[in-house]
Structure 1
Amino acid sequence: MTTQHPLTEQAEALHALGRDDEAKELLARRLAEDGEDGAAWVQLARCHLASREFDEVIRTTAEALRIAPDDWDALVVRTYGLRRTGRRDEALAAAREAVRLATQSAMAHVALSEALMAWPERMLDSVAAAEQAVRLNPEYGGAYYALWKSATFSGRPDAGEIREFAVRQALRLDPEDAWAVEEHAGMRAAAPGARLPAKASAYADALAASPDSTSMRARLDQTVFRMLRGTRWLAVLSLCIAGVSVDLFPTEGETPKELPLPLGMRLYALFLMAVAWGLGALLRYRSLRQGVRLSLQSLLRRMFWARLVLAQAVWGTLFAVVIALVPWSGRGIPQALFWTGLVPVLLTIWFDRPRRR
């Protein structure tokens, strides 16, 4: 077994921590000392790959292969650089050579799976290569990512089962694996019968594991907005309670309630509104996870339509309270208040549908 130079080992540790710029500086020092250190060239290529500097990946792996033409590790890294720069034939050749040199390496088979994905007609072969990687090393998380990715585009009838298996195994190895957490959140949210709070919790979990995920942020915001949007229906319900209590629209042929209503009936209407809001909003909010609550507060600061939703809910409820609480002697004014409170709420429910999507 070849012993790496201390600077290369330090750079490898920095790369594992995501500190690729610092790792590159150490590797530059090492290669200035000894430009024939193949391991340093391969590690530098990995740092460039993490930084999405694909042309540099190709250049540095070429140096490594000049020094050691049978370095299958360099061929694996080179495969990704070639694949990302559109050189799919060369990428496939590099991956196949890596598999030939290291038949029992799961990493080599993962690289082959990645290279094969450049051809839509070879997706099934890509899945097979990823499955072979899983068989060779069931403890290698990269194999499950390759299996999930290739199955996603394979068109296989059992692709959903394969993806679910890959996600669960990846989480077994690393419960904080970003892609697996995100995919698992999507699976939880898409489960039959999943309610909005459960979906929001799933997306909040994924966002905690991957704070920079724009897709999870967007999904969480959308779900929270849908929950917030529901508060306007509580305003509509409150207006209906007030309208029924005051008998604003008496049925033809029936004797309308005598106005003003007794204080007890008016207080009972307010009690029903409080119950509706308590069960529909307050208890629901208190049961939300802290991450979802913070997202709700953030959404109200960032999104005009979220603030408008809340304002409309308050608007309709205030009119309902006034209708129920005031001892009206006639129905003309409370009817006008009813429509004044109801129409803007219903209009915004209709017009914000594109924002909900």
Structure 2
Amino acid sequence: MVRRRPERGDVRQRGRDVRRPDRLSEEAAEAVSTGLHPALERADALYALGRYDEVKTLLGQRLAEDPEDVRAWVRLARCHLRVEGEADRALEATDRALALAPEDTGALIQRAYALQAAGRLVDTEEVLREVIRLDPGYWVGYAQLGHWLYRIRALRFGHANGGEVTREAMDSFLRESDELAREAVRLAPEEVFPYEVRRTIADLSGDRALAAEMDQAILRIDPNHPQALARHTRQAAAAPGVKAAEAATLYADALAAAPDSAPMRQGLDDASYRLLRGVRWIALLCVGLAGAMLDLFATDGHAQRELPVPVGQRLWTLVPFAALWAVGALLRFRRLRKGVQYNLRSLIRRRRWPRIVLGQAAWAMLCALLLTQVPWADRPVPQIVFWAGLAPTAATIWFDRRKAN
């Protein structure tokens, strides 16, 4: 029997989530091997568009014409795997393909995916080791087995030991998996999936340096890889000394490369919220300046200022207020990237706490203006206004750090 490697459309993993390695990239799904039957070429094109029902119909017609078309059975299995609840039908399709070509590595790979989808992860090891035996120079067998082997070992170990897996045993399983992933990297240094597997293993092992190295390798191959880009950006934005505006710019740049990344959108929202939280400090500083102007609280050895404060001095306090807002808010906002500016406006419309933050800033600023512009003759009422402007904001400013919603 002639041994076949899987076609590009069967196995290529570029840029996909490592948790679902059976997903195919659009580039790979569109790839058409020479010599395919026209029906299979049309099936590949429909598969790339996500029209799985039409793919199954077309492949069914092809198999009615030629029940021994191994490539059609493999494609049918792949299509069933993309539809929830059809793992058993995918297994049936791979059974038919392997009955015709027992050494077809493409059929074996799809069978491993079908077994995993059917909840039979432990059974995939034998299938993938057969792939490696048949084609030791083929990277997918090593990468996929490395991705699943530590889980298989942990399941077997836990079953034999009352459900518990020791740290030492898990480390051993991870090392065994990493050896397979390293071999996949050696065989296919320009494929993303082996690096994704090594990155997952490094994360589980607590090896942050290796995890960062794998992220760099992934981004070298695929600069728009959503997960690696999200991790890299999150790490850069959380580095010591990175201010909210810098973090927002980092997330905005990442979103320009991966606009559909939910972690990047959340990161941009969080950084934008940090920017809005800074506005309240400006308002609180204004309240503090207003209290200092009125000399609201007596201290030993210090004579309090006579009230009311002259009108010229009251008007003069508007100058530092305006300067604080111009430099701390307006100028800072105008220097932000357009994408960050738009997100700030959007965040205020979409989320409750950003509106609360702005409301607190407005309330504190109103109290500051009342303190400075009203000609108070005594201090009890201004003291109440001062605490009314200061206390509500100060009471929430420490615990709403993470409340972007």
TM-score range, shorter chain: 0.7 to 0.9
TM-score by length of 2: 0.77
Q: Mean alpha-carbon deviation: is it higher for 264-273 or for 346-355? A: 346-355
Q: Does 1:79 align with 2:112?
A: yes
CA drift of 1:285 comes to 2.5
Question: Is this contact kept in 2: 1:80–1:111, CA < 8 A?
Answer: no
Q: Mean alpha-carbon deviation: is it higher for 286-295 or for 230-239? A: 286-295
Distance 2:100 2:202 in 1: 37
Distance 1:279 1:330 in 2: 33
Gap regions ≥5 residues in structure 2 = 5-33, 155-169
Q: Deviations over 1:224-247 (max 9, x none)?
A: 333322322222111001111222
Task: Report what 2:141 is aligned to.
Answer: 108
Distance of aligned partners of 1:154 and 1:228 in 2 relative to their CA distance in 1, 3 Å threshold: same
CA drift of 1:21 comes to 5.2
Higher relative contact order (CA 8 A, sep 6+): 2
Task: Report what 1:7 is aligned to.
Answer: 39
CA drift of 1:256 comes to 2.2
Q: Deviations over 1:305-341 (max 9, x none)?
A: 2211111111101111221233333333322211121
The match for 1:35 among 67, 71, 75 is 67
Question: Is this contact kept in 2: 1:79–1:111, CA < 8 A?
Answer: no
Question: Is this contact kept in 1: 2:351–2:404, CA < 8 A?
Answer: no
The match for 1:234 among 282, 292, 295 is 282
RMSD, aligned α-carbons: 2.8
SS state of the match for residue 138, structure 1? coil
Q: Does 1:224 align with 2:268?
A: no
Distance 2:253 2:150 in 1: 30
Distance 1:254 1:311 in 2: 36
Any residues of structure 2 matched to 1:246-325 within 5 Å, and which? 246-325=294-373
Task: Report what 2:248 is aligned to.
Answer: 200
How many residue pairs align between the two structures? 354
Q: Mean alpha-carbon deviation: is it higher for 50-59 or for 310-319? A: 50-59
Identity of aligned residues (%): 44
CA drift of 1:93 comes to 1.0
Distance of aligned partners of 1:86 and 1:225 in 2 relative to their CA distance in 1, 3 Å threshold: same
The match for 1:333 among 376, 381, 388 is 381
Distance of aligned partners of 1:345 and 1:191 in 2 relative to their CA distance in 1, 3 Å threshold: closer
Distance of aligned partners of 1:26 and 1:240 in 2 relative to their CA distance in 1, 3 Å threshold: farther
Question: Is this contact kept in 1: 2:353–2:404, CA < 8 A?
Answer: no
Q: Deviations over 1:228-285 (max 9, x none)?
A: 2232222211100111122222423212233333444334422222232333332333
Gap regions ≥5 residues in structure 1 = none
Distance 2:92 2:238 in 1: 44
Distance of aligned partners of 1:190 and 1:355 in 2 relative to their CA distance in 1, 3 Å threshold: closer
Q: Mean alpha-carbon deviation: is it higher for 199-208 or for 79-88? A: 199-208
Task: Report what 2:205 is aligned to.
Answer: 154
SS state of the match for residue 260, structure 1? coil
TM-score by length of 1: 0.87
Q: Deviations over 1:6-57 (max 9, x none)?
A: 2323333444455555544543443343332222222333334445554444
Structure 1 stretches of 4+ moved >6 Å: none
Question: Greater helix percent: which structure?
Answer: 1
Q: What amino acid is the match of 1:288?
A: L
Question: Is this contact kept in 1: 2:234–2:267, CA < 8 A?
Answer: no
CA drift of 1:70 comes to 0.8
Q: Does 1:176 align with 2:208?
A: no
The match for 1:124 among 168, 175, 194 is 175
The match for 1:140 among 191, 195, 205 is 191
CA drift of 1:210 comes to 4.8
Q: Deviations over 1:208-229 (max 9, x none)?
A: 5555544444443333333322
Task: Report what 1:342 is aligned to.
Answer: 390
